[in-house]
Chain A
Amino acid sequence: MMSIVEFLFNPWVRGTLGLALIGLIFFSAVITVWLERKFGADIQSRIGPNRVGGRFGLLQLIADAIKLFTKEDLIPAKADKLLFVMAPIVILGSAFMMIVAIPFGAIVIGDKSYPIAATEFDISVLYLEAVSALSVLGIFMAAYGSNNKYSMLAAFRNIARMIGYEVPLGISIIGIAVMVQSLNIVEIAMAQSPLWFIFVQPIGFAVFFISILADMGRLPFDQNEAEEELVAGWGTEYTGMRWGLGLFAEYIHMILGSCLMVLLYLGGWNLPKFITGIFILGAFAPIFWFIAKVVVVVMTIIMIRWALPRFRIDQVVDLGWKVLFPLSILNLIWAVALGLFFGA
């Protein structure tokens, strides 16, 4: 038994097995695309996809994939070819590099819990924040490379927005690091066993939620796409699968952002003790609860998309700098006070 665990925790084995997580996340991104269309249709009293694969349009995903794979790949004559080709790699790469550090639940055997993550290291929260911010670079590369005015406008706005929200995001994460005394995301998730951080730091959660929405480029902050004003934003010149890679990266970002929210504020894979006691899944219960929480968060984000209109760019920037930044400092002071009161 022990030797199996040791074998699985060998970094090479663990990293290689972790690649399966990429497949799973890719698959759940595809499902999220379908869910977004169907659920959004329900919210707006439309029917949504209903032609391919029965009444619920279940095969729509496969039809979409076939379409993406068989579209001609065009590179505009005026484009900077290297930047144009590299941009989807950077955008998707940022999403892939996030997967490596996120624990997707844990298996509990006896007293020990083994997180399901490709790796664990001490600064994983900082790493996740840094890698997630890389996608801005990819979007700017795409816009600058495709030499299209709509793309450039989208990229300018995107950078202005990301810049405004990266700082409150970082400070709200520090609010948690102050209380846990660790930047290891597994330890942060485990530290919420009695009490979730959403109840300890409600302001921090609000700041984090809004900032991560902006970070993911979801409505009401999707200035990087803004299809009603800017055609398709950064992806205007992209066709077929090259665009599809960016689309998948966006949905993967959305899922991973939800995972991050669950891990940092909604208790990770923990539940209040009285519920865990009566549950029958045993060692796999944490995975189930983790996925259930992520699904709830993803559904909330989809609902926000279909309920709210897009903000104007000056409103977005003002919200980030003039509201969220002071609020995040306030939350930090609150967290430090709590940490001093209970920790020292």
Chain B
Amino acid sequence: MTGVIDSYIPVAIFFIVALITPPVMMFIVHQLSPRSKAERKLTTYECGSVPIGEARIQFNVEYYLYAIAFVLFDVEVLFLYPWAMVYINHGITAIATVEMFLFIVVVLMGYLYLWKKEALKWVK
């Protein structure tokens, strides 16, 4: 009925609308809302006291461990998607299932290693 690219035309339309809507709403707000100038209003909120230092601090390194684990397992999930589409009814059922079983076992071993090394522990 419709081509592959055709079915993404609505996505493009929605993308443009998503880009336009917030500025339009903020324009309406700027017409309606009061404006007043006071320097104190523009300070960063920190329970009413004068802010100490910057908020853009260095990350705790443990976030990186989580991030690396996430990237590994998310890529694994991406490999599973095409496999799930073809493993039945394409004449490769047996080998595809065995291969994927091995793949999952390897991934689970990595997962157990991460757990054992306490990479998944929040407070060390």
Which residue numbers of A lie inside 8 Å of B, CB to CB? 9, 11-12, 14-16, 18-19, 22, 68-79, 88-89, 92-93, 96-97, 99-101, 118-122, 126, 144, 146-152, 156, 159-160, 163-164, 166-167, 170-171, 174, 177-178, 181-183, 231, 236-237, 240-242, 245, 313-314, 317-318, 321-322, 325, 329, 332-333, 336, 339-340, 343-344
Contact = CB atoms under 8 A, between A and B. Distances in A.
Contacts of B43: 76-78
Nearest to A178: B84
B28 A96 contact: no
Interface string B36-69: 1001011111100001001111011001001101
Interface string B83-115: 011011100010001001000100010010001
A77 B40 CA distance: 10
B14 A22 contact: yes
Contact of A344 (B15, B51, B88): B88
A97 B15 contact: yes
Interface residues of B, number: 68
The main secondary structure of chain B at its interface with chain A is: helix
Contacts of B60: 156
Contacts of B35: 72
B18 A96 contact: yes
Contacts of A237: 44-45
Given A78-B44, A240-B33, A119 B26 contact: no
Nearest to B52: A149
A11 B10 contact: yes
Nearest to A339: B88
B36 A72 contact: yes
B9 A73 contact: no
Nearest to B3: A11
A340 B93 contact: yes
Contact of A147 (B44, B74, B87): B44
A97 B93 contact: no
A177 B81 contact: yes
A174 B8 contact: no
Contact of B17 (A71, A72, A96, A126): A96
Contact of A74 (B10, B42, B93): B42
Contacts of A241: 25-26, 29
6 contacts: A70-B34, A77-B43, A119-B8, A163-B70, A174-B80, A240-B29
A22 to B, nearest CB: 7
Interface string B5-33: 01111111111011101110110111011
Contact of B44 (A118, A126, A148, A340): A148
Given A73-B33, A119-B11, 5 more contacts: A69-B29, A150-B45, A152-B56, A322-B120, A336-B97
A317 B66 contact: yes
A120 B8 CA distance: 8
Nearest to A118: B10
A339 B115 CA distance: 31
Contact of A11 (B9, B42, B108): B9
B81 A100 contact: no
A314 B122 contact: yes
B95 to A, nearest CB: 13
A70 B35 CA distance: 10
Nearest to B23: A89
